[in-house]
Structure 1
C-alpha cells in the first residue's frame, strides 16, 4: 500500500477537531436554526461548485430516475437533520446533544435490519442495550435539570434518526457516483429544502452581523468540507473502523470546547451516560480481531 507523507492519525485528529467545532459554531451564531442550516449548506455548495463543474458533471448522465428520487429524499432528510439538531442546541447542552446524535450507527443498524435484512448478533444486541442505557441516563439527568433540556435531547435523537435515513437512501446511489458528485446533488437539494423552510416559516435571511456570516462560512468549510474530506482521505491508509472510532471522539471534543467557551460544565449523568453511549457504539462498530491486528501492525 502506498505510504502517505504524513501519518494518517494526524489528519484524523484534525478531522475530529473540525467536526467537533460544528455545535460550537451553531451555538455562537445568533440566527434561527433553519437559517444557520441553510447558509451552512449554501456555502458548502458554492465552495464545491468549481471542482464539480470542472471535473464531475459527466457523472450526472449515470443517474436514473430512481437515483434522482432517492438522492432528493436523502437531501430532504439531511436538511431536517440539521434543523432539529441545531434547534436542540437551543435547549440542551453541547455535550448531551452531540452524544445523542452519535447514536447514528445504532439507528443505521435498525434501518438495515428492517430494509435489507442484515443479520443481528448477540454482540449487536448487547452494544445497542449499552448505548441506549447511556442515552436514557443522559436524558433522565437532563430532565432532572429542566424540561427544556429533555426536549432538546429528544430533538437530538430525532435528528439522529433523520441522518440515518439520509444515509440509507443514499447508500445505493453512492455506489455508482463519486463522493463529489453525490455530495453536490444532496447538498443542493438540502439547500433548496432549507430555503423553502426558512421562507415558509418567515425567518429572516438577513441582514446579520459580520460575525454571524463568519460562523456560517466556517460551518461550511471546517465541519462540512474539511472534516469529512480528511476522514475520507484517511480511509485509504487505515481501517474504516479506526476512523469510525475516531469520529466518536466528536462529543468529547465538543464538550471540552463548550466548557471553555460557554461555561457548560458537565454533570455526573452527562459524563457517565456519554461514556456508556460511546462504549456501546465502540462495541457495535469494532471487529475486534481486525482492530487489534491493525494496531499490532502499527506498533
Structure 2
C-alpha cells in the first residue's frame, strides 16, 4: 500500500470517528438542565482551555492574520455560535431524530455554496450517495414531524441551525486554505463562545452555581463532539472539500437515534432503522466515489497527517 493510499484510508477512519463523536452531542445536551446557550458557551470555552497546551507552538501564527482573515473568522465563529443556539434549542422542543434529520440539508446547502463561491463540482456518484442519504434521513424523522406546536418550532430552529452551520463551513473552507487547523479552530471556538456569552449576559442567564454533573456534561461536550467532531472536521477541510466534510452530518441521525433509543428511551421504528441503513449506504457511496476524497493529499498534507496520527 503506497503512501497516498494510506493517507486516504487514514482520512476515512478520522471521518468515521468524527461522525460517531458528533452523534453524542444531542444525548449530552438532553441530559443537561442548563440553558442551551450556557451549555454551548462552556462547551466551546472548555474546548479552548483544552487546546491551550499547544498555543505556544502556534503563537506566531495565532496573531498574524490579515484583516480579511479576521473578518471571515468572525463570520465563521458567529455562525457556529448561532448553529449551536438554534439547534440545541430545537432538541428541547422535538425528538432527537427530527432535530438531527433536518441537519441533513447541510451538505446540499454547502454544495450549492461551494458551487457558487468556489466553482466546486460534484460527480454523479457523489450526487447519488447524497440523494440516498437525504431520503434515508427524511424517513428517520418522518414519524416524528408535527404540523404545529412546539415540535414545529423545534424543526424550524433546527433548519436555522443548519443554514448557520453551512455558512460556517463555507467560511472555514476558505480560511483553511491558508490557516492551520489549530489556529482556525482556536479562534472560531473563542468567537462563537464569546458571542454566546454576550447573548447570555443580555438574557440574564447565570454563569455559575451549576452542579458538578452539569460541569461534567459541559466537559464531555467539549471533548467528544467538539474536539473529536468539529475540530476534526475543520482539520479535514484542508484535504477534503466542504461538501464531503458536511456529508458527515448524514450519519448523525442514525447513531443519534440509536443512542436516543438506548439512553433516552425515545421510540425507534423498524422503518427508521432501515432508513438508517440507507443513510450509511449513501455516505459510503459518497466517500468511496467522491472525486475529492480519492484525490491524493499533497506532500505537506501527508506530513501533517502523519503528525496528527
Q: Residue 307 of structure 2 corresponds to which residue in structure 1?
A: none
Using the alignment, how far apart are the partners of 2:45 and 2:243 within structure 1?
Answer: 31
Q: Residue 34 of structure 2 corresponds to which residue in structure 1?
A: 31
Using the alignment, how far apart are the partners of 1:10 and 1:129 within structure 2?
Answer: 23
- Please report how far the alpha carbon of residue 85 of structure 1 lies from its aligned counterpart in structure 2 after TM superposition: 1.1
- 8 A Cα contact 1:95 1:254, kept in partner: yes
- 8 A Cα contact 2:123 2:290, kept in partner: no
- Please report how far the alpha carbon of residue 149 of structure 1 lies from its aligned counterpart in structure 2 after TM superposition: 2.4
- Please report how far the alpha carbon of residue 65 of structure 1 lies from its aligned counterpart in structure 2 after TM superposition: 0.5
- Please report how far the alpha carbon of residue 42 of structure 1 lies from its aligned counterpart in structure 2 after TM superposition: 0.8
Using the alignment, how far apart are the partners of 2:161 and 2:119 within structure 1?
Answer: 24
- 8 A Cα contact 1:85 1:97, kept in partner: yes
Q: Residue 184 of structure 1 corresponds to which residue in structure 2?
A: 186
- Please report how far the alpha carbon of residue 10 of structure 1 lies from its aligned counterpart in structure 2 after TM superposition: 6.9
Work out whether 1:43 is the aligned partner of 2:46. Answer: yes
| 42-51 or 109-118: bigger deviation | 109-118
Q: Once the two structures are superposed, what CA deviation does each residue of 1:57-91 show, in whole Å capped at 9, x if it has no partner?
A: 21135411010000001000000101111111111
Q: How many residue pairs were aligned?
A: 291
- Please report how far the alpha carbon of residue 32 of structure 1 lies from its aligned counterpart in structure 2 after TM superposition: 1.1
Q: Secondary structure at the match of 1:143?
A: coil
- 8 A Cα contact 1:244 1:285, kept in partner: no
Work out whether 1:257 is the aligned partner of 2:259. Answer: yes
- Please report how far the alpha carbon of residue 94 of structure 1 lies from its aligned counterpart in structure 2 after TM superposition: 1.6
| 128-137 or 222-231: bigger deviation | 128-137
| TM-score (structure 1 length as normaliser) | 0.79
Q: Residue 300 of structure 2 corresponds to which residue in structure 1?
A: none
Using the alignment, how far apart are the partners of 1:191 and 1:289 within structure 2?
Answer: 35
Using the alignment, how far apart are the partners of 1:182 and 1:276 within structure 2?
Answer: 34
- 8 A Cα contact 2:132 2:281, kept in partner: yes
Which of 151, 174, 177 matches 2:176?
174
Using the alignment, how far apart are the partners of 1:113 and 1:3 within structure 2?
Answer: 28
Using the alignment, how far apart are the partners of 1:131 and 1:243 within structure 2?
Answer: 14
Using the alignment, how far apart are the partners of 2:101 and 2:190 within structure 1?
Answer: 28
Which of 138, 143, 164 matches 2:145?
143
Q: 1:201 to 1:229 in 2, by over 3 A?
A: closer
Q: 1:119 to 1:221 in 2, by over 3 A?
A: closer
Using the alignment, how far apart are the partners of 1:23 and 1:230 within structure 2?
Answer: 18
- Please report how far the alpha carbon of residue 271 of structure 1 lies from its aligned counterpart in structure 2 after TM superposition: 4.5
- 8 A Cα contact 2:33 2:214, kept in partner: yes
Q: Residue 69 of structure 1 corresponds to which residue in structure 2?
A: 71
Using the alignment, how far apart are the partners of 1:103 and 1:269 within structure 2?
Answer: 20
- 8 A Cα contact 1:3 1:237, kept in partner: no
Work out whether 1:100 is the aligned partner of 2:74. Answer: no
Using the alignment, how far apart are the partners of 2:292 and 2:81 within structure 1?
Answer: 35
Q: 1:49 to 1:111 in 2, by over 3 A?
A: same
Q: Residue 297 of structure 1 corresponds to which residue in structure 2?
A: none
Q: Secondary structure at the match of 1:24?
A: helix
Q: 1:235 to 1:83 in 2, by over 3 A?
A: closer
Using the alignment, how far apart are the partners of 1:89 and 1:165 within structure 2?
Answer: 21
Using the alignment, how far apart are the partners of 2:69 and 2:237 within structure 1?
Answer: 25
Say what the alpha-carbon RMSD is for the aligned residues: 3.9
Using the alignment, how far apart are the partners of 1:212 and 1:165 within structure 2?
Answer: 30
- 8 A Cα contact 1:91 1:151, kept in partner: yes
- 8 A Cα contact 2:258 2:268, kept in partner: no
Q: Kindly report which structure 2 residues correspond to 1:125-164, keeping only aligned pairs within 5 A, or say none.
A: 133-134=135-136, 137=139, 141-144=143-146, 147-164=149-166
| 273-282 or 12-21: bigger deviation | 273-282
